[in-house]
Amino acid sequence: MKLNEWDETARSMIEIGSDLVQGHMDTMKEMVRIDSRSFNVNEFEGDRTTPTDMKEILAVAEEYLRNIGFSKIRINVPPPGPERSTPILMAEIGSGTGKPTLLMYAHLDKQPYMDDQRFEKWDGHPPTELRWNKDGTRAYGRGAADDLSGVVAIGMAVDAMLKAIGFDAAHPAPDRLQQLPCNIKVVLETEEESGSHTLIPQILQNREFFETADCVIITDVTNPDTGVPGLTTSLRGIVQVSAHLKNTGNEAIDAQSALYKTLATLIHEDHSLAVTAIAQTDVAVTGEERRGYSKIPTTLEALRAQAGLLNETQLTVPADKVDVLVAQLRTSYANVRPGHRVAGGVVFGSAGARLDFHTQGLIHRDGWMQWLEETFRANNRFGLNLRFKELEAPGPAALTVELIVQSADKDPHSGITGGPFPVPELQLATMVDRLIGWDGRLVPPGWEEFFESGGRVSITSCSALHVEHDGSARTFDDPSAKALVELRLAPGQQEAQAGEHLKNHLFKNVPAGFTLELDEDKGGPPWMTAIDHPAFPLMLESLKAGYGHDPCLYGCGGSIPFVAKLTEALGDIPPLCLGAYDPDCRMHEPGESLSMADLLGCARSIVHFMLASPQAFRRG
């Protein structure tokens, strides 16, 4: 009976405006203030040039957990190795032997800011400043959602439960902790955004801490809608390579044009992945799974809005909610970003190129320019907003044009939303590929009528553009031909094998006179779990108790490398992936925000699960 009373008491403390919630949001504010970007720093003049060692945010997290009631806290020293490594933090509250042990995970590191020092994409506010909307239902700042919301949801849940049983962290009474129905362990990582590359070695360093866990609760996924809980059972993996194409003797075509033509081979005409060895090995979606996706409480309109798609942008799959979800959750796809642009895991909503042509015998300049624009528009298969204009050229025989294509009014998360809509950088590459042959001359017929007999036109150079949301564009300071190629991998793929397939595909499509350098960047395996353990129905019950809304089984198109690594290292224990943030949080984008409905709902759900956990982990 006491467990039910404690559950109701603890959950009642977790409400907007309560003293308990305010105290935890003060900690959130302090954690947002700290720069804990784990990769892609040096974003603007005066920015730090190397990522932080994470000591500052680990110290704040340690004090935070100690004030809640965690007396055993340890910050690990990572094993030596060739890669940069930062610590995990481990904390625990023991209640006694014979009780289930719940391990909970979140991470402290953050994505890049993706802005310059003016922070205009953050509405002029530093991303290290936690600020609120007018009604206090949403807080803005880098890391507020991904994944400080997970850190605080765990802390808030444990704090409320301890207060409900009468435990006072300032005057600890061990006999009070013995009343708890479970042991609690927490691990906080500082490398998740950069690939969790030393997570497994650090787990193996601390086997005794992890080996007693009966389940792992992971608070680093999104819910299907604001205030609507989902229990995530699948994740896509990721492979990223940095590509640099160099001209080593091809006089017909420049390196950037050649790079676009090479990148265009990544997709078929319908924008599906053209790396056949990968595309054909995604685990097929069953009819039962499709019926389950049909029950997810979202709409086609909401899914388009989450990606920021322009009204005229067409999907690359049928305009049906289930087809969009299958493309986002269970389909491998390709994304490309300019290699000189600092960014997190996003699809840039716009892409652009500047093309320089040399002409001989051009007699109808305006007519040819119109033909060129119409050729680009004819290859605009998915209705992207296309802007074409002539720029000042260096001489009478030269022509310079600027081409910009836009699918969305923001840069959506490449994992959460990516798959069912066109990637502008790839559509741009396809347009260039269809216009220019490997000999540097125009491929489509019709241009000849604007030239005198024997006239000709060829491309002399092509430059990638940095395009902003307002349509402004500029060339990069570094003119070399570089791109970041990203594949999101559906369940069924093997990360290392998929990486080899990608590299082989790119190398195979490089022409004579060019060399391609590929550097492996970020990787992580896909993941999918069965739901037959009693912990899953108990967590669904807990989500309903925490949110006051029926939950659903869900998936995440994003990539969380540690999940597969963690579940592999911990053995056959149920992984329970909860969302402490919503689809509107803009994780990995400028303007990241936290939905209080999702944070508090997640915390209340964890409370219910902790206090009811003996139902799922019966002893003897």
Q: What is the pLDDT of residues 334-367, one digit of tens each?
A: 999 998 887 778 899 999 999 999 999 999 999 9
Question: Is 120 part of any domain?
Answer: yes
Q: Is residue 457 part of a domain?
A: yes
Answer with the one of 524, 559, 590 that is the final residue of a domain: 524
Q: What pTM did the predictor assign?
A: 0.86
Say what the pLDDT of residue 416 is: 84
CB 335 within 8 A of CB 488: yes
What are the tokens at 107?
């991470």
235-254 residue pLDDT tens:
999 999 999 999 999 889 99
Examine residue 390 and state whether it is found in any structural domain, yes or no. yes
Q: Quick one: 64 and 189 in the same domain?
A: yes
**598 shares a domain with 454:** no
Contact 62, 92 (CB under 8 A): no
Would 461 be classed as within a structural domain? yes
pLDDT of residue 262: 97
Statement to judge: residues 519 and 535 lie in one domain: no
Q: Which of 564, 612, 619 has the alpha carbon at shortest distance from 237?
A: 564
Q: Is residue 620 part of a domain?
A: no
Per-residue CA distances from 479 to 116, 255, 416 (Å): 20, 10, 31
Q: Is the peptide bond before 477 cis (omega within 30 degrees of 0)?
A: no
Rg (CA), the chain: 26
Does residue 414 lie in a domain region? Answer: yes
Q: Average pLDDT of the chain?
A: 93
Compute the Cα dihedral for 603, 219, 414, 531 and give only its sign.
negative
Per-residue pLDDT tens digits for 79-132: 887 678 999 999 999 999 999 999 999 999 999 999 989 999 999 999 999 999
Same domain, 145 and 258: no
Cβ atoms of residues 223 and 496 within 8 Å? no
In the predicted model, what is the mean pLDDT of residues 131-148? 95
CATH code of the domain containing 318: 3.30.70.360
Sheet holding 138-140, edge to edge: 131-132, 138-140, 593-595
pLDDT at residue 1 above 60? no
Tokens matching residue 174 = 């061990």
Phi, psi angle pair for 200, to nearest 5°: -60, -50
**Is the domain of 184 the same as that of 289?**
no
Could you tell me which residues are beta bridge partners of residue 400? Answer: 356, 391
258 and 196 both lie in a single domain:
no
| Other CB atoms within 10 Å distance of the CB of residue 439 | 11
- Say if residue 520 is in the same domain as residue 534: no
DSSP string, 129-154: S-EE-TTSSEEESTTTTTTHHHHHHH
| CA dist., res. 570 & res. 207, Å (int) | 9
**Rounded Cα–Cα distance for residues 99 and 541 (Å):** 20
* pLDDT > 60? residue 620: no
Across 190-201, average pLDDT: 88
Q: Are residues 96 and 183 in the same domain?
A: yes
Q: Are residues 222 and 266 in the same domain?
A: no
Q: What gap in Å lies between CA 81 and CA 205, rounded to an integer? A: 14
585 φ/ψ angles, rounded to the nearest 5 degrees: -75, -15
- For residue 251, tell me if it sits in a domain: yes
Together in a domain, 60 and 133: yes
**Cis amide bond preceding 220, omega within 30:** no
- The whole-number average pLDDT for the span 147-171 is 96
Phi, psi at 452, each rounded to 5°: -70, 165
- Distance separating alpha carbons of residues 354 and 243, to the nearest angstrom: 20
> Is residue 324 helix, strand or coil?
helix
Domain boundary among 473, 505, 524: 524
Query: Do 295 and 190 fall into the same domain?
Result: no
Domain boundary among 509, 524, 539: 524
Q: Is 136 left (phi over 0), alpha (psi -120 to 50) or beta?
A: left
Q: Domain total for the chain?
A: 2
pLDDT tens per residue, range 377-421: 999 999 999 999 999 988 888 999 999 999 999 999 888 899 999
Residue 423 within any structural domain of the chain: yes
Check whether residue 216 and residue 247 sit in a common domain: no
Q: What is the domain-level CATH number for residue 173?
A: 3.40.630.10
Q: List 413's β-bridge partners, or say none.
A: 346
Q: Whole-angstrom Cα distance, residue 222 to residue 584?
A: 9
Q: Which residues pair with 131 in a beta bridge?
A: 140
- Which residue range(s) make up the domain with 121? 2-235+527-615
Contact 278, 493 (CB under 8 A): yes
Q: Which helix (DSSP H) or strand (DSSP E) does residue 59 occupy?
A: helix 55-68
Question: In degrees rounded to 5, what are phi and psi of residue 32?
Answer: -65, -35
